[in-house]
Structure 1
């Protein structure tokens, strides 16, 4: 049995590099075709993870947009860091979007004159943290999974409560726009006030223009804002890529989310961060606070 297992391991070690090579080649081909299409410049759904990129991509695919649509989280020099972190967590090969990010970054450098349109969403940081545990459980420093491989609701809820009390865990959301959109495209969303009562804004810098919209406003304002930004003809419908919010009450995500109860003091600390203070009104911040304290 041991010899058989060793033989299988040898086969896996031989196949894995070939699989990685194939994914890199596929990603390079996709990016190359998109950046070479002079009539239909690429659209990047470029934002921090677990903020609805799948929903926007799914909606654009359904409407039949001519441009290639890619959703990526990292195009900066941080890409190598996150790749190493995932490999350390046992994720190898990496998710395909990581190889796609490498290919797109390469094309951005090699073809600096190709225009790029960007859609980027922002989200309530507490809701982001809850969703992140379910989408990336392997990044948790302690196991939040049940023996069957699914996320354990109680473990996830307890882990979340501890994580939410550490302000450093929100550095990612508070720094994402500077580390990514600003460093890669020169777009500084914090340079001017955000129209908090509108919920979205467009920024332009050299080759890139970016539509930034709050995820909370996506169902109501997203269709018109995105259609106008991309020059789409016809109605755009927002189609959820995730059914979590519509699932039954025994859904683990919903159960873990409903376990989260924060004090007003802790909510005040979390919502004093740069991202929330810039993109959200006092009224919306209060509604978030009431939700997570259980006052709503």
Structure 2
């Protein structure tokens, strides 16, 4: 009881304790399943679904293997720990796997699962997620909504989105993640693999990783066959988790989506890139255009 209390209250005890647990877990298996992808593309659902199977293979959920990003994530967790008493598992997993790479301690290629999603949907969802972060740290938009009304608050959020995303030429395309992460750290070049455009999933084999490429839009139609081919799992079922429209700000999020208007030149900058065309066919991209043009 005393140890549990110390672990819960003290970041400097909890952090090394969970690092040790990850290290011990890794000793018992040469294999690793790594859900390694951008944020807001369904990674938590895949992670929770695989965990529910009790596969006896370590399962990790990460968004980055970059040293600097991991360092900043650790600093953020530590700074917020006194208020939240929580550390993000993704941070711990990233730190552990990064140490395995640095030591060249990869016995068998990792089984890496990565998803893509309509980049505009990913951008909108990622921007809105910061409201959840503010809620955790004590700032609740619902109080402002009650005092000032939905319309005014949504307009403030939309103006913030325009300033941060639409009117900011320095913003990097979200799909550059694949170059900054998978290519830089696992030497997985997506253009060396077969295109995912017009397909639901694809399996690629490299020296450090065996990679399952999935599309969120067609996940419900393909996940059982994909995970059977990739991991030999029969009758795989998805456990829905971390869905934006089910969160505390779901009503505000719906209003935001109905009212945000995206200029065609902004849509062109996002959709008319080689990265997007590698993952999505012309007809799929056109469907994305029509979706966001209608708002």
TM range (shorter): 0.7 to 0.9
Q: Which runs of 5+ in 2 are unaligned?
A: 1-5
Match of 1:75 in 2: 65
Give a deviation string over 1:255-277, Cα, whole Å, max 9, x none: 21222222333211221234312
Match of 1:115 among 109, 120, 125: 109
**CA distances 1:113-141 after superposition (whole Å, capped 9, x unpaired):** 243111011111111111112323469xx
In the TM superposition, what whole-angstrom CA distance separates every residue of 1:272-291 from its partner, at most 9, and x where no partner exists? 23431221111111111111
Call closer, same or farther: CA 1:116–1:30 in 2, change over 3 Å: farther
- Give distance in 1, aligned partners of 2:201 and 2:117: 12
> What is the CA-CA distance between 1:243 and the residue it aligns to?
4.0
Corresponding residue of 1:197 = 198
**Partner secondary structure for residue 195 of structure 2:** coil
Task: Indicate if the aligned counterparts of 1:45 and 1:71 stay in contact, CA closer than 8 A.
Answer: yes
Q: Provide the rounded CA distance (Å) in 2 between the counterparts of 1:95 and 1:117.
A: 22
Aligned-partner SS, 2:34: strand
TM-score (norm 1): 0.79
Provide, for residues 59-114 of structure 1, a one-character-per-residue CA deviation record: whole Å limited to 9, x for no partner: 112233221211110112342464388479x6457634213311221123332324
Q: Residue 42 of structure 1 aligns with which residue? A: 32
Aligned residue for 1:119, secondary structure, equals: strand
Change (3 A) 1:37 1:277: same
Whole-Å separation in 2 of the counterparts to 1:27 and 1:193: 38
1:214/1:204 Cα in 2 relative to 1: closer, same or farther (>3 Å)?
A: same
CA distance in 2, matches of 1:30, 1:118: 21
1:132 pairs with 2:133:
no
Paired with 2:101 and 2:9, the residues of 1 have a C-alpha distance of 26
Q: Hey, what's the Cα distance between the residues in 2 that align with 1:167 and 1:223?
A: 40
Partner residue in 2 for 1:31:
22
RMSD (Å) for aligned C-alpha atoms: 3.3
Contact 1:200 1:211 in 2 (8 A): yes
Question: In the alignment, what sits opposite 2:3?
Answer: none
What's the offset of the Cα at 1:191?
2.4
Number of equivalent positions: 274
Please give the alpha-carbon distance, in whole angstroms, between the structure 1 residues aligned to 2:261 and 2:209: 40
Separation of aligned partners in 2, 1:236 and 1:37: 24
* Residues 1:240 and 2:230 aligned together: no
Paired with 1:211 and 1:105, the residues of 2 have a C-alpha distance of 20
